Amino acid sequence: MTDKTIHVTVWNEFLHEKKDSSVAEIYPEGIHEAIAKYLNERSGIETRTATLEEPEHGLTDDVLNSTDVLIWWGHMAHDRVRDDIVEKIHHRITCDGMGLIVLHSAHHSKIFKRLMGTSCSLRWREDGQRERLWVVSPWHPIAEDIGDYFEIEQTEMYGEFFDIPKPDEIVFISWFKGGEVFRSGCCFYRGRGKIFYFRPGHETYPIYHNRMVLRVIENAVRWAAPVERPRTLTIPRAIHARPLEDLK
């Protein structure tokens, strides 16, 4: 574990901010820039951004191959993300150990559904009411500096059943004023990669200006950074293996 810099790419669909003035008011440079600005101020993290309408969605081989942790926000244009780029991201995660942080409405992104193998559907309601996130894994690095719970005053509701595989770790469970609960911070391991789904983040609320939310994202970045190891020989292809013991 060397103290090397973590290279983060924040990907954003970046459509709501262009089309909707009330969103642009909250995120004048886009959700990606709000997150990137915060992360760039933290020690040991270097962040750039990429968006849907750039060539190759801003995710060229050069960018992907030099990204340690990819943060993903999308909502209205999941289908416009190219399948071949989704497969490249999948390869980078499972083979090379690139981390992935999936935010809010990206539960329906192609890459998250591809990795989960399920519909990733859920209940939702845009009511602008309170959410309270309870820590249920007090040992977890993603809960660093977070108390027993934290609150978001106005948010969109997501409720169970959330159609995901059983998470390898649940960091947060949310309470919603309207009567629902949600597994709001979920860790998954796939091949060499670490994946964190984090629920907060609707475009019409200033969620990504909330210091607790940003702190959780920072914690997740540090947690999701790749572990340095020799390549795992069986990802992604089967290998024919000679015996390691004498079979006489």
- Report the nearest approach of a copy of itself to the CB of residue 12 (Å): 21
Q: How far is CA 108 from CA 81, 141, 149, in A?
A: 12, 26, 26
Backbone dihedral region for residue 120 (phi beyond 0: left; psi -120 to 50: alpha; all else: beta): left
Q: Which stretch binds a copy of itself (CB under 8 A): 12-20, 53-61, 146-154, 201-209?
A: 146-154
Binding mask 202-231 for a copy of itself (x = CB under 8 A): -----------------x--x----xxxx-
- Return the axis-axis angle of helices 31-40 and 211-224, rounded to nearest 10°: 70
Which of positions 63-102 make contact with a copy of itself (CB under 8 A)? 94, 97
Query: Given the complex with a copy of itself, which of 17 and 218 has the nearer CB atom?
Result: 218
**Residue 126: both structure tokens together:** 């845009």
Which of positions 155-184 make contact with a copy of itself (CB under 8 A)? 157, 159-163, 165-166, 168-170, 173-181, 183
Binding mask 103-142 for a copy of itself (x = CB under 8 A): -----x-----xxxxxx-xxxxx-x-x--x-xxxxxxxx-
41 lies in the binding site for a copy of itself (CB under 8 A):
no
Those residues whose C-beta lies under 8 Å from the C-beta of residue 104, and which sit 6 or more positions away, are 73, 75, 156, 198, 199, 200, 201, 202, 207
State how far Cα 180 lies from the chain centre: 22
8 A C-beta contact, residue 223 and residue 68: no
47 lies in the binding site for a copy of itself (CB under 8 A):
no
- Report the nearest approach of a copy of itself to the CB of residue 65 (Å): 18
